[in-house]
């Protein structure tokens, strides 16, 4: 299903920030903003909610720590106990100081790798996916704001020209 959107191009990030605030003040819904680099405060200006990605990172780290503890207890205590450097292998707690580096490394390993996978899945960026960038200039030096049109094309066009847009296009966007 295709929907009509208006795309406004800007050449400066400060002008874009001002435009986003003005468009939001007029109660228009901004579909997406494409920028060549991160613009500080843009997410707040667009009214986006905070992400919960830090919580998932903590959960993935706890999962890695649990896997490390269970793995080392099974390998070094239950399955194949060995006397390494005179350290007895009677219990996991007695040998835990020697296992701290492994616990740390697996915690970081799980958190880092599972966060990358989560980011790609959440962003819907799988291998061989076609790029969704509507204008190649946004990868170099332009900023693009995309707003859905709901029988208010003239009003939006006038508003966007007033915010300092250098180019305005109306296109069909696949949903």
| DSSP per position, 46-105 | HTPPPP-HHHHHHHHHHHHHHHHHHHHIIIIIIIS---BTTB--S-HHHHHHHHHHHHHH
Among the listed ranges 39-48, 69-78, 79-88, which one has the minimum average pLDDT value?
79-88
Are 71 and 99 in a shared domain? yes
Task: Please state whether the predicted TM-score (pTM) of the whole model is above 0.75.
Answer: no
Burial (CB count <10 Å: 0-12, 13-18, 19+), residue 20: buried
Using one digit for the tens of pLDDT, what is the confidence trace for 107-131? 999 999 999 999 989 888 888 888 8
Q: Assess if residue 11 is contained within a domain.
A: yes
Structural domain boundaries enclosing 161: 2-49+143-174
In the chain, how many domains are there?
A: 2
> Does 138 fall in a domain?
no
Same domain, 20 and 43: yes
Q: Is 127 inside a domain boundary?
A: no
Specify the pLDDT at position 35. Answer: 93
The share of the chain scoring above pLDDT 70, in percent, equals 95
Kindly state whether residues 9 and 22 are assigned to the same domain.
Answer: yes
Q: Is residue 162 part of a domain?
A: yes
* Gap between the Cα atoms of 166 and 145, Å rounded: 12
The domain that holds 30 is classified in CATH as 3.30.70
């Amino acid at each position: 299903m295709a929907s009509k959107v208006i795309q406004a191009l800007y050449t400066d990030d400060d002008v874009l920030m001002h435009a986003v605030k003005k468009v939001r003040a007029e109660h228009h819904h901004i579909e997406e903003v494409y920028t060549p680099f991160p613009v500080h405060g843009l997410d707040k200006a667009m009214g986006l909610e905070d992400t919960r990605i830090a919580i998932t990172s903590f959960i993935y780290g706890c999962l890695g720590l649990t896997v490390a503890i269970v793995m080392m207890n099974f390998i070094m205590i239950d399955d194949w106990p060995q006397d390494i450097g005179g350290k007895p292998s009677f219990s996991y707690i007695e040998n835990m100081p020697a296992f701290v580096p492994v616990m740390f490394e697996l915690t970081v390993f799980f958190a880092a790798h599972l966060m990358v996978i989560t980011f790609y899945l959440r962003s819907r960026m799988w291998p061989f996916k076609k790029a969704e960038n509507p204008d190649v200039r946004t990868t170099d030096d332009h900023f693009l704001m995309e707003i859905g049109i709901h029988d208010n094309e003239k009003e939006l066009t006038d508003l966007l020209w007033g915010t300092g847009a250098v180019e305005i296009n109306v296109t069909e966007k696949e949903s």
